[in-house]
Chains A and B, each alone.
Chain A
């Protein structure tokens, strides 16, 4: 029943790992969305702000101006997440979930999180697999025929996606801050001195180094141990311990550890999943096994290649990646830096009019905080201010920004040249020539 790596994507395996994945992922998303709503974040992040930071190339994606529409989209998300978990109208549910979730994530990059990116990717994969062919309402209502086996390629899709996340998060930790300065863990761990058992050790420098190295080794190596049949159980146990520890130490990462713990079950052998669903499996022993279509194989290749390309695009840019953040998003760089800043904008016009901007007039505190350290967002806001002040009667306004940023606990320094009129600069894929180099 087990499926070692050597098997081709067309060999058959049990559908149950996919069933577990579908049910767990749908349920998880349902709860995560409820939590999001419950915490008031829909209002805080998408209704309160008057300005949104769109993603480059996706400026056309706008937040609906109607509050009802915004809540409607979240209701749709909740329904489709439930649909995924229950396997009800699965094909539609998964598509609706993927589209709505990605749509919401594109609204404002101040809210970008790597695990939201992960959810979008997984949701897209779920649209493409027959995860509803067992233990689902679709089968119960005879909307589709039950199926107990399928091509192992379908399972591999999710395993490869998980492996990519871990591996890239791991190699992103191979940098001198993380390994040789234990940064930023050295600054973050002592904050939890009040934890039971572990607390008293958390101000020890050696522990920060130990955690840094262990974290790097865990992320880089765990995919291999999860793929290998003989080590998958102990590896999964390590996954649980690791993520529970990160959830305790860094509550701010929210759902991420739980999503990873749940999704990593896709590596466990079919026998595990079969015993999990024993109560449901007797009824359907139907052996139709669809092949893994060539077009899906082609898509998977493209899909994963694109992710690798995105993760490595930072190599095309000069300077310190953590400073310029050119190529930082969409590359699984999590918990890697302590960065804080404050940014002040000055608008001038030809007649000598001048105004220093109170950022809070246009941005929420969260948006302001995210913007202060991220050059592309500073540029976006500068252009928005240009428009605003043109409207207010400024003739050919110029916008200047003074951003003081501290990276990895170093004294603050200027992020960009405060004498550059940002309206003369456009967002594009070129290196930003108006940034000042980072002095370590």
Chain B
């Protein structure tokens, strides 16, 4: 069962544009704009991902996700039903991006993301 009504900006019709804008902004944050960003820190601590620098891998994944969203023909609510393969691929690429940032990057940074400020051991 598909739920095209669940896309962002269903009535406004800007679904794809909003997703791409979101991804681009996040990528800019990752790169620190023109200054020092997470990518520089990852390179500084020599964070690797299967033999390549993790920062490159994450940058590439940003591009893969953006390209995958752009590759969806027509508008998103329609694509969810008629061009499911492309829509599904865009979802998958974004999901991989989440894993790279939330798991691989945060693990390499060694930051304990301690939401509740609880003790650990």
Query: What residues of chain A have their CB less than 8 Å away from a CB belonging to chain B?
Result: 39, 41, 44-45, 111, 113-115, 184, 187-188, 190-191, 252-256, 334-335, 338-342, 344, 351-354, 364-366, 369, 404-406, 409, 411-412
Contacts of A115 in B (CB 8 A): 119, 121
* B11 CB within 8 Å of chain A: no
Determine the chain A residues whose CB is within 8 A of the CB of B50 once the complex forms.
Answer: 411
Q: Which of these binds chain A: B63-71, B75-83, B96-104? A: B96-104
Instruction: Check B33 for interface membership: any CB of A closer than 8 A.
Output: no
B85-121 vs A, CB cutoff 8 Å, 1 = contact: the mask equals: 0000000000100111011101110111111111111
Assuming the A-B contacts A342-B98, A366-B115, are A406 and B121 also in contact, with contact meaning beta carbons closer than 8 angstroms in the complex? no
The distance in angstroms between the C-alpha atoms of A409 and B116, with both chains bound, is 23
**Are A341 and B115 in contact (CB-based, < 8 A)?**
no
- A interface, over-half SS: mixed
CB atoms of A187 and B121 under 8 A apart: no
- Contact status A255-B108, CB under 8 Å: no
Q: Of A41, A184, A256, A335, which contacts B116 at CB under 8 A?
A: A41
B117 touches A39 (CB 8 A): yes
B120 partner residues in chain A, CB cutoff 8 A: 113, 252-254
Tell which of B49, B106, B111, B118 touches A366, judged by Cβ atoms closer than 8 Å: B118
Q: Which of these, A188, A191, A254, A369, contacts B115 with CB under 8 Å?
A: A369
Expressed in whole angstroms, the minimum distance between the Cβ of A339 and any Cβ of chain B is: 8
Q: Does the CB pair B49–A188 fall under 8 Å?
A: no
Minimal beta-carbon separation of B45 from chain A (angstroms) = 7
The 7 closest A-B pairs by CB, nearest first: A254-B119, A365-B115, A366-B116, A340-B107, A406-B107, A187-B110, A404-B99
Query: Could you write out 13 A-B pairs with CB less than 8 Å apart?
Result: A39-B117, A113-B121, A184-B110, A188-B110, A334-B121, A335-B121, A339-B107, A342-B99, A365-B115, A406-B103, A409-B108, A411-B49, A412-B104
Q: Are A256 and B121 in contact (CB under 8 A)?
A: yes
Q: A338-B110, A352-B1 are in contact. Are A412 and B103 (CB under 8 A)?
A: yes
Give chain A nearest CB distance to B114 CB in angstroms. Answer: 6
Max count, chain A CB within 10 A of own CB: residue among B99, B112, B115? B99
Please state if A190 and B45 are interface contacts (CB–CB under 8 Å).
yes
A111, B103: Cβ atoms under 8 Å? no
Residue of A nearest to B57 (CB): A411
Q: Residues of A contacting B45 with CB < 8 Å?
A: 190
When C-beta atoms are compared, the residue in chain B nearest to A349 turns out to be: B1
Contact residue among A191, A353, A364 (Cβ-Cβ distance under 8 Å from B1): A353
B116 and A341: CB pair below 8 A?
no
CB-based nearest B residue for A251: B119
Q: A191 CA to B44 CA in the complex, in Å?
A: 13
Contacts of A364 on B, CB cut-off 8 Å?
115-116
In the complex, which residue of chain B has the Cβ closest to the Cβ of A373?
B103
Q: Residues of B contacting A338 with CB < 8 Å?
A: 107, 110
Q: How far is the CA of A141 from the CA of B70 in the complex (A)?
A: 81
Nearest chain B CB to A120 CB, angstrom units: 14
